Chains A and B, each alone.
Chain A
Amino acid sequence: MRGNLVVGGALVGLVVVTALVSLLWTPLDPQAVDASVRLLGPTSQHLLGTDKFGRDVFSQLMVGAQTTLYVGIVAVGLAAVAGVPLGVLAAMGPRWLGELVMRTSDLVLAFPALLLAIMLAAVYGASTLTAMIAIGVATVPAFARVARAGALQVLSREYTLAARAGGRSRWWIAWRHVLPNISGMVVVQSSVSFAMAVLAEAALSFLGFGTAPPTPSWGRMLQESQELLAVDARLALVPGLAIAAVVLGFNLLGDGLRDHFDPRLEARR
């Protein structure tokens, strides 16, 4: 389905553009507190109204996109950089090493990412960095598994057997054949993991273990709006929809990319 790719790409693109624009410009200072304009509905000056501190919700939403992408990129990057080599190593190295890597990753996988993040936050203090590291570490096994499965597939192909028969070293085979052939799967996994990282960051900030105030974060916007649900649901709706849109975007993008990299899958549908 090309539609997935287009819709997903558009949603993700929108967030990326918003984040980039907010680096240079926001309608108002997202951190400026002004008690005289608190809890306003949408006006021409405040497109999405103001929160209980009198801050501009639209500006916060824009800057919050930065936090979201930042966390996603670092967490997923960390997971991919650590997970992919581990997975390839597990597939190509000695049997005991493969077992060790995969059993360890089972262990990490069994441990809830949020709990890990809360533990880290308790020890090192709540910050965006600890949240990213925790989410990244918890996502490593997903990449290791994908990379290992892909590598095993590639290793059984004729061209790798030929390379091996030709006396090429393991590293050469890994570099020339395995990595290029699993890159598509890694990209797909990144997109899916990105969506999960966004959700995890929002959850952590909601619980007060993520991005520290006053840096805007969609999760904390949700948390601050919680007690106002019955009074002004708009404040919860805005960041909620933003999170939903990003997660949907990355999931659709992941699906679309999978179809793109593996056309046989699409044919089977």
Chain B
Amino acid sequence: MATRRSALSALASAAVLAAPLALAGCTAGSTAMVGTGPSTLAVGLTAEPQNFDFTTTDGAAIPQALLYNVYETLVKVDSDGEIVGGLAESWDVSNDRTVYDFQLREATFSNGEPFTASDVKFSIERVQQDWTISLKSGMDVVDRVEVVDDRHARVVLSRPSNSWLRAMTTRIGAMFDPAGVADLANDPVGTGPYDVESRRRGDSIVLTRNPEYSNPESPRPAPGYRTVVLKYYADATALNNALLSGGIDVISGVTAPDSLPQFEADNRFRVLQGTTNGEVVLAFNNRRAPLDDVRVRKALTYAIDRKALLEAAWGGRGELIGSMVPPTDPWFEDLSGEYPYDPDRARSLLREAGHESLRLDLRIANLPYAVSSAQVIASHLKKVGVTVDIEPLDFPAVWLQQVFTDADYDMSIVQHVEPQDITTFGDPDFYWGYDSDRVQRLLTEADTAPPREYIADMREVARTLSDDAAANWLFLFPNIVVAKNEVRGLQANQVSESFDLTGLRRQGTS
């Protein structure tokens, strides 16, 4: 169950996907001096890590750069959201679903130490004892870890949990070496194919191939690029220009969708579009009148033409969803047709609720997707007699205080990027103000239920949220990657916390 603080970290990371506009007219400002050549890849990203220690620093930027690339996990998610092996070659689950036996791959840390089952024990216990970020609560369910032999680790849970294995694919599942945790903020040591070579604050991070992988006898294939430079640009236009001018090879996530035609029309580039976990949500304050009335919430949902909104606000890129579930979650069900655009119905629902006209504030994060969506919403709601006062709040600080912490708002727009954040609706103190016994009970039951019931329960939660119009799920944020043609192996979907570099290679190499 996501806690209040863990969701906060997810929100903060929303800034990653839509970094606020920086000063005008900046051009490509990155000047990392690294050798360019066929074995070097330069990737443009938006939010820069403050340090390299994701055990104590929240936010999406650090795992985006380091997870799967520098640190590896026992299991990882592939681009379809399926759990696949990472450092674990295979795993078995006991019949009562509390004992997990992991058979480990042979691997070596970048400091030369071999990876063994005792590192698994060390890493998992370290999450419980030393980590401070809110996501560590995902490890609460672990009772103990046993080292059966070097290649065999056994994890015993205190109760069955459907979410634990999936949580192991995130940063909390990262494997550390006891000798490599002295200076996590500056010197990360992992088993991944890359090692951090250098970093320039405000500019770039240089990753080089872990020497263990260059060894021809290495059991694991070497990554396609010898060197990867992660370059950071706060401004979407600067990021675009960097690719156009050849400063970078890949844009990890485009936040200016209307600028894409310039890349699509250019045969030097390829545009990939996939899904993320980021639901752009029009939040209703379920606790405050008049939005505590389900008829009003339904009316506001019928009154907004989400297809037109997606078209106008985000260039038609993204997917319509009808609940807090991205299509890559196993319990996804297409509920996007539940509230077809119907202004007449909205008007009659409002009349029924006793509101011929309404005035509501819309306190949004001052981010491009929210500002764009808000203007469309204001225009649509005006047609059903609802006046909307848009107030863009500085994100994250002011927005987090006023809307998220104090819940002082009628409606708000922000993107929720945390995987499986549907569980936030089970927390009545969350800023939704949504208090439903049924949803809370279903969510608690779901985590310990047998897998088949788990899916059914979660599906029921999603459907109940939609029936209650607990929020208006505007659209699922798209993952848009633009790359030079010769870069191969890119994934369209962004469903893990990592920008996975391991499968990338230059065209014509193997």
Query: Chain A interface (Cβ within 8 Å of chain B)?
Result: 31-36, 38-39, 52-54, 121-122, 125-126, 203, 206-208, 212-214, 223, 226-231
Q: How far is the CA of A208 from the CA of B382 in the complex (A)?
A: 23
B378 proximity list for chain A (CB < 8 A): 31, 213-214
- Closest B residue to A203 by beta carbon equals B24
Q: How far is the CA of A188 from the CA of B252 in the complex (A)?
A: 52
- B301-314 vs A: 1/0 string, CB under 8 Å? 00001011101110
A-B contacts, 12 listed (Cβ < 8 Å): A35-B309, A35-B311, A125-B393, A125-B398, A206-B24, A207-B21, A212-B390, A213-B374, A223-B21, A226-B21, A230-B240, A231-B262
A36 proximity list for chain B (CB < 8 A): 308
- B492-503 vs A: 1/0 string, CB under 8 Å? 000000000000
Chain B nearest CB from A130 CB (Å) reads 12
Chain A nearest CB from B368 CB (Å) reads 8
Say whether B261 contacts A231, CB under 8 Å: yes
A213-B390, A230-B259 given; A53·B312 CB < 8 A: yes
A208-B371, A231-B262 given; A126·B376 CB < 8 A: no
Say whether B376 contacts A212, CB under 8 Å: no
Chain B nearest CB from A54 CB (Å) reads 6
Give the interface SS of chain A, mostly helix, strand, loop or mixed: loop
B158 in contact (CB, < 8 A): no
Query: Chain B interface (Cβ within 8 Å of chain A)?
Result: 20-21, 23-24, 236-237, 240, 256, 258-259, 261-262, 305, 307-309, 311-313, 315, 366, 371-372, 374-376, 378-380, 382, 390-394, 398
Chain B nearest CB from A97 CB (Å) reads 39
Say whether B258 contacts A228, CB under 8 Å: yes
Chain B nearest CB from A148 CB (Å) reads 35
B259 proximity list for chain A (CB < 8 A): 227-231
A53-B312, A208-B392 given; A126·B366 CB < 8 A: yes
Q: How far is the CA of A207 from the CA of B25 in the complex (A)?
A: 12
A208-B366, A231-B261 given; A213·B375 CB < 8 A: yes
Identify the 3 closest CB pairs spanning chains A and B, nearest first: A227-B256, A33-B379, A35-B308
Say whether B311 contacts A38, CB under 8 Å: yes
Say whether B375 contacts A227, CB under 8 Å: no
Say whether A227 contacts B390, CB under 8 Å: no
Q: How far is the CA of A226 from the CA of B376 in the complex (A)?
A: 19
Q: How far is the CA of A201 from the CA of B341 in the complex (A)?
A: 37
Chain B nearest CB from A123 CB (Å) reads 9
Chain B nearest CB from A201 CB (Å) reads 14
B371 proximity list for chain A (CB < 8 A): 208, 213
Say whether B21 contacts A53, CB under 8 Å: no
A35 proximity list for chain B (CB < 8 A): 305, 307-309, 311-312, 376
A208-B371, A213-B371, A223-B21 given; A32·B258 CB < 8 A: no
Chain A nearest CB from B71 CB (Å) reads 34
A227 proximity list for chain B (CB < 8 A): 236-237, 240, 256, 258-259
Say whether A207 contacts B237, CB under 8 Å: no
Say whether A54 contacts B312, CB under 8 Å: yes
Identify which of A31, A52, A122, A203 contacts B258 (C-beta below 8 A). Answer: A52
Say whether B394 contacts A214, CB under 8 Å: no
A33-B376, A227-B237 given; A126·B392 CB < 8 A: yes
Say whether B312 contacts A33, CB under 8 Å: yes
Say whether A38 contacts B237, CB under 8 Å: no
B236 proximity list for chain A (CB < 8 A): 227
Chain A nearest CB from B376 CB (Å) reads 5
Say whether A33 contacts B375, CB under 8 Å: yes
Chain B nearest CB from A129 CB (Å) reads 13
Q: How far is the CA of A207 from the CA of B379 in the complex (A)?
A: 23
- Closest B residue to A207 by beta carbon equals B21
Chain A nearest CB from B230 CB (Å) reads 23
Q: How far is the CA of A94 from the CA of B82 in the complex (A)?
A: 80
- Closest B residue to A36 by beta carbon equals B308
Say whether B376 contacts A53, CB under 8 Å: yes
B258 proximity list for chain A (CB < 8 A): 39, 52, 227-228, 231
Chain B nearest CB from A121 CB (Å) reads 8
Chain B nearest CB from A45 CB (Å) reads 18
Q: How far is the CA of A31 from the CA of B388 in the complex (A)?
A: 12
- Closest A residue to B262 by beta carbon equals A230
A230 proximity list for chain B (CB < 8 A): 240, 259, 262
Identify which of B315, B380, B394 contacts A122 (C-beta below 8 A). Answer: B394
Q: How far is the CA of A203 from the CA of B23 in the complex (A)?
A: 10
**Most B C-beta atoms less than 10 A away, residue of A34, A39, A122, A214:** A214
